[in-house]
Structure 1
Amino acid sequence: MKTALVIGGTAASGVAIVAGLRARGYQVTIYHRGTHELAELDDLEHIHGDPHHPDTIDRDLGRRSWDVTIATYGRIRFLADALAGRTGHFVSISGTPVLGAVDGVPTTEDAPYERQGNEPSGMGRLLHRIAETEQAVLASGRGGAFAATVVRYPYVYGPYAVAPLEWHVIQRVLDRRRRWIVQGAGLVLNGRCASPNAAEFALRALDHREASAGQIYNAADTRQYALVEWIQAIAARMDWSFEFVDIPAAIAPLGNTAVPLAGEYSWMRRGDVEQGLLRHQLIDNRKARREIGYRDVVDPIEWLGHTVDHWLAHPPTIDGVDGRLSPAEFDYAAEDALLAFWDGVVRGRPAVGRQLVRAHPYAHPKPAA
């Protein structure tokens, strides 16, 4: 029987990855810390350990080998070194935040990496290390250690996500909040991917080893939605609607806790990029569609509804630990103070100019008499 090692596998896309491997006839082993266990994976072999350091990886995996490996978690460059010559295909899950701010959309695989910040640590340094890891995995593949493929996830939504951003909306609906502060009319575009669709990118790479070897693929749903559409879809699942109030970043800078989700991806924008400027990152999945036959396996809005139902039944932990949502992200007092201030600005705006009605610019001659 064919064998597969999944490293991590207990967050958003793990269940779908395992289901896809099983459907393809693989005997699956899960290697993770054991801090999150899912009933759907109970019947698999689990290796509990620490996939972050060479000594613990060597201890946990020994000299075992697997036909394919999908690494969704851990220190992937060390995992790739440990599995060199011991797996036929190594699929490394990376992330689209590693891509820098680019002019225009969509964002393709050849977009430049995010530049490293000047600080010795922090997000800029982390993104630089992720970029190095991508290149190290591909270099191992070129050296013959295994067939190597990198799949970059954007924000992945679905049950078991570590930081479910949908809860921003769900909690405010439950609390009967009616007004929602947006910036740029809520039209910013950021890549998202349903967890079964994210898994499909990795699985399709395995299906097409020759084509995918040495390649990077950006993962994203084929149909994307602006932030305001995303919020509306979640609220509609709960029979609710919001009044959207557009407050510019000059009043509330991106990332301000009083503006829910408006700074959702602003932490990616570093260096000389203006912090008050909303930038799109619309992830292009055409390379995967063209080369490895990727197609969405679930409809984004239908899966979003399923995701909402899951979180209503199993509310996430809100403690700000390990990247999870924080209580500071639900600062209603700050939201209300900002709304009250903005309402005052709007009431006090001067009456200037007049309504312009512009006719179309084309001639409309009359018939000759």
Structure 2
Amino acid sequence: MDSALVVGGTRFIGRHLVEHLLDHGYEVTLFNRGTHENPFADREDVDHVQGDRSVKTDLQAAAMTTDYDAVFDVVAYSPHEVETAVEVFADAEAYVYVSSGAAYGAEEIPKREGETSLEPCTPKQATDDSQETYGARKAEGDRVMFAAAEEGVRAMSVRPCVVYGPHDYTERTDYWLSRVAEYDRVLVPGDGTNVWHRVYAPDVAEALRLVAEQGQAGEAYNVGDRRLTTLEEYVDLAADAMGTDVEVVTAGERALSAGDISPDDFPLYRSYPHVMSTAKLAALGWTSTPLSTAMLATAAEHRESDRDGSDVGPDRETEERVLGVLDTV
């Protein structure tokens, strides 16, 4: 296959996917509403079809006017959107749905495709758009994909864990990059050993392509860094990438209460480890980027951006109150 339709494609994962597909000789068409700046607007090898993916006739128009072998569905956030897409693009050589590690409904280490149960999804949750129902909606999208494959559609899904890398509008990693760049002492919640599986965005793009080319219909594939890091190790990686030397200061709930904050107020903190097996994807030939290389690229783009993560974690004044309490202990 050598042509692709990317539903989404101008922001984070989709942007990396388009770049990756172009690097591998694909002709790419973007389908989106055009509400975000298109970084490929000046590229002659990237076409653009404007439309709303929640409107079936818009998707049908894209299907009729676009040449594609593979369809990559980056921005399907409701089961109904997946239902519509697998119907409209049933003739694709591959339909790949971007699901999420949040689709898993059991706290197991590691979480494995086909073994770890998925989140249930009620009809009310299926039409909700809150963060609380995100995992349930992604899980139901997977079940829609499974059903489509049983009907003959070559449909598959990729389940990323927490994604980081250049152009990350969530600013979760930007928070830590800004902290290590600006301060000698960085406050980390808990004892620093909590683990939330993460994955570099370009590696997600590679996973999507490999699954389209080699994956089995009706299968889901986890994608995450092959080497996990604790939050403290992640902060150290950020400091190395930013060329700084910092002291990581850990703080439990009692110390954090001095600033009227909790561990969950910090980005990338999770009390129970979230770890996903990536063996199934690796069997397709997928590998992950070395952590230091990934963080260097992430830090380089961070320096050029105006993102600082200030809206996704405690402010420095609050942290200083906690650090002051810890200094008196």
Same fold (TM over 0.5): yes
Inter-partner Cα distance in structure 1 for 2:50 and 2:219: 30
Percent identity, aligned pairs only?
Answer: 23
Inter-partner Cα distance in structure 2 for 1:124 and 1:25: 39
1:285 equivalent to 2:278? Answer yes
Aligned AA for 1:53?
Answer: V
Partner of 1:311: 302
Contact 2:180 2:186 in 1 (8 A): no
RMSD of aligned residue pairs (Cα, Å): 2.9
Q: Normalising by structure 2, what TM-score?
A: 0.85
How many pairs were matched up? 318
- Work out which of the residue numbers 163, 176, 200 in structure 2 matches 1:194: 200
Higher mean displacement: 148-157 or 40-49 = 40-49
- Work out which of the residue numbers 37, 45, 50 in structure 1 matches 2:47: 45
Aligned AA for 2:31?
Answer: Y
Secondary structure of the residue aligned to 1:28 is: strand
Partner of 2:176: 169
Secondary structure of the residue aligned to 1:284 is: coil
Aligned AA for 1:293?
Answer: G
Structure 2 segments unaligned to the other structure (5+ residues): none
Contact 1:182 1:260 in 2 (8 A): no
Secondary structure of the residue aligned to 1:233 is: helix
**What is the 5 A alignment of 1:267-286?**
278-286=271-279
**What is the 5 A alignment of 1:11-22?**
11-22=11-22
Question: CA 1:326–1:138 in structure 2 vs 1: closer, same or farther (change >3 Å)?
Answer: farther
Inter-partner Cα distance in structure 1 for 2:218 and 2:5: 20
Question: CA 1:57–1:299 in structure 2 vs 1: closer, same or farther (change >3 Å)?
Answer: same
Inter-partner Cα distance in structure 2 for 1:51 and 1:133: 15
Aligned AA for 2:243?
Answer: D
Secondary structure of the residue aligned to 2:191 is: helix
Partner of 1:111: 116
Question: CA 1:148–1:108 in structure 2 vs 1: closer, same or farther (change >3 Å)?
Answer: same
Higher mean displacement: 122-131 or 77-86 = 77-86
Partner of 1:66: 68
- Work out which of the residue numbers 209, 223, 226 in structure 1 matches 2:227: 223
Q: Normalising by structure 1, what TM-score?
A: 0.76
Partner of 2:327: 343
- Work out which of the residue numbers 203, 212, 224 in structure 1 matches 2:209: 203
Q: Which runs of 4+ in 1 moved over 6 A?
A: none
Aligned AA for 2:27?
Answer: Q
Aligned AA for 2:116?
Answer: A
Secondary structure of the residue aligned to 1:186 is: coil
Question: CA 1:147–1:14 in structure 2 vs 1: closer, same or farther (change >3 Å)?
Answer: same
Aligned AA for 1:94?
Answer: S
**What is the 5 A alignment of 1:80-99?**
80-99=85-104
Contact 2:179 2:186 in 1 (8 A): no
Question: CA 1:114–1:257 in structure 2 vs 1: closer, same or farther (change >3 Å)?
Answer: farther
Structure 1 segments unaligned to the other structure (5+ residues): 267-277, 319-324, 347-369
1:149 equivalent to 2:149? Answer no
Secondary structure of the residue aligned to 1:162 is: coil
Contact 1:217 1:285 in 2 (8 A): yes
Partner of 1:333: 317
Contact 1:155 1:193 in 2 (8 A): yes
Partner of 1:235: 239
Question: CA 1:263–1:61 in structure 2 vs 1: closer, same or farther (change >3 Å)?
Answer: same
Inter-partner Cα distance in structure 1 for 2:278 and 2:166: 23
Instruction: Give the structure with higher Rg (CA).
Output: 1
Inter-partner Cα distance in structure 2 for 1:199 and 1:51: 21
Partner of 1:362: none
